[in-house]
Amino acid sequence: MLTRIQIKNFKRFESVDLELGKNVVFIGPNNSGKTTILQALALWEIGLHRWNEKKQNKAPSEKRSGVQINRNDLISLPVPNTNLLWNDLHVRKSERSNDKQIPQNIRIDILVEGISNDKSWTCGLEFDFANAEFFHCRPLRLSENNPLNRMEVPLDATDTKIAFLPPMSGLAATEPLWQPGRISVLLGEGQTAQVLRNICYQIYSKSPSGPEWNDLVSHIKELFGVMLLPPLFIKERGEITMMFKEPSGIQLDLSSSGRGLQQTLLLLAHLYANPKTVLLLDEPDAHLEVLRQRQIYQLLTSLADKLGSQIIAASHSEIVLNEAAGRDVVVAFVGKPHRIDDRVSQVLKALREIGYDQYYQAEQTGWVLYLEGSTDLAILQTLAKKLNHPASEYLEERPFVHYIGNQPQKARDHFFALREAKTDLVGITIIDNIEKELQPTTKLV
Kindly report the pTM of this predicted structure: 0.80
Do 272 and 265 contact (CB within 8 A), yes or no?
no
Q: Is the pLDDT of residue 76 over 90?
A: no
The pLDDT value recorded for residue 121 is 96
Q: What does pLDDT average to over the chain?
A: 87
Domains of the chain: 2-161 (3.40.50), 168-273 (no CATH), 354-429 (no CATH)
Residues 6+ apart with CB under 8 A from 334: 28, 29, 32, 347, 350, 351, 359, 420, 421
Q: Is 400 helix (H, G, I), strand (E, B) or coil?
A: coil
How far, in Å, are 183, 270, 326 from residue 340 at the CA level?
35, 28, 10
Q: What is the DSSP letter of 108?
A: E
Residue 65 has pLDDT above 80, yes or no: no
Mean local confidence (pLDDT), 196-220: 93
Tell me the pLDDT tens digit for each residue of 345-370.
Answer: 666 666 656 766 677 778 778 889 98
pLDDT over 60 at 302, yes or no: yes
Kindly report, residue by residue over 231-283, the tens digit of the pLDDT.
Answer: 999 999 999 999 999 999 999 999 999 988 999 999 999 999 999 999 999 98
For residues 151 and 135, the answer to whether their CB atoms sit within 8 Å is no
User: For residue 23, which of 331, 292, 295, 291 has the smallest C-alpha distance?
Assistant: 331
